[in-house]
Homo-oligomer: A and B are copies of this chain.
């Protein structure tokens, strides 16, 4: 396994149009794993930034009308240039405006990976297809009991969008059209710090730039954050030091730790 080594050697330059809540954590997590971050959300500036970058991460967490334009134009440029593009549909389903924006992003941009929690992914699946909604009784929390219905939804969404679908939660599901991984990494204490999801999207983008197998690259990005959090939990005194320890552990992460810590299982779907 050379997932982390490849990131540290290729040093991807990643452009983020992202929320201002967790942006500092995203930048530091990106640096900690050996990639470099650039943040810009001005429509006159952001699309051109793709010219010097290797990837784009779009996170509409604190979207506004101007930054949404920057997201769309940056995404189109990234697609033209064949760059990795990751969508973190932060807050999808929370308001009508967010759903409208998610639909607009999905209609205009091809994503290599879409990463969200189960409710965000369900909301995204619903707004991005005109025919019929996602079954309302798809679970609200992914467990080993209901994971096959989640696989089904992820498979269909992946087939339609050609994106890897990463659904984070107590257990994570990372799925393509044909295969799915579930991962058990991370800890419940991580839910009490903001930004772990946003950092995961950053690491997925870095891993997709540096690694060939798209599905496995996304799995590596997801478990990197989980493993870092598990390691940090051992000495954290609370959520503040868990947050800092998570960055420390990302900066010290290598493939031996990733492989040793990985709790993953593969399914053909």
List A residues at the B interface (Cβ < 8 Å): 19-25, 27-28, 31-32, 37-42, 44-45, 48-49, 51-52, 61-66, 91, 94-98, 191-195, 236-241, 243-252
Q: How far is the CA of A191 from the CA of B35 in the complex (A)?
A: 11
* Given the contacts A97-B45, A247-B240, A91 and B23 also touching, CB distance less than 8 Å: no
14 A-B interface contacts by CB (under 8 A)? A21-B39, A31-B192, A32-B238, A45-B63, A45-B64, A45-B97, A48-B97, A49-B95, A237-B252, A238-B247, A238-B248, A239-B250, A239-B251, A240-B248
Least distance between A162 CB and chain B CB atoms (Å): 28
Q: Evaluate contact between A45 and B194: CB separation under 8 angstroms.
A: no
* Given the contacts A62-B39, A194-B27, A32 and B91 also touching, CB distance less than 8 Å: no
Residues of chain B contacted by A191 (CB below 8 angstroms): 31
Which secondary structure dominates where chain A touches chain B? helix
Q: Evaluate contact between A24 and B194: CB separation under 8 angstroms.
A: yes
Q: How far is the CA of A94 from the CA of B47 in the complex (A)?
A: 11
Q: How far is the CA of A44 from the CA of B37 in the complex (A)?
A: 29
User: Which single member of B22, B96, B192, B248 contacts A251 (CB below 8 Å)?
Assistant: B192
Name the residue on B nearest A194 (C-beta).
B27
Least distance between A153 CB and chain B CB atoms (Å): 22
12 additional A-B pairs beyond A31-B239, A45-B64, A240-B248, beta carbons within 8 Å, are A21-B27, A24-B195, A28-B193, A28-B239, A32-B192, A38-B91, A42-B63, A48-B95, A49-B94, A237-B248, A243-B244, A244-B244
User: Which single member of B19, B65, B251 contacts A240 (CB below 8 Å)?
Assistant: B251
Name the residue on B nearest A235 (C-beta).
B237
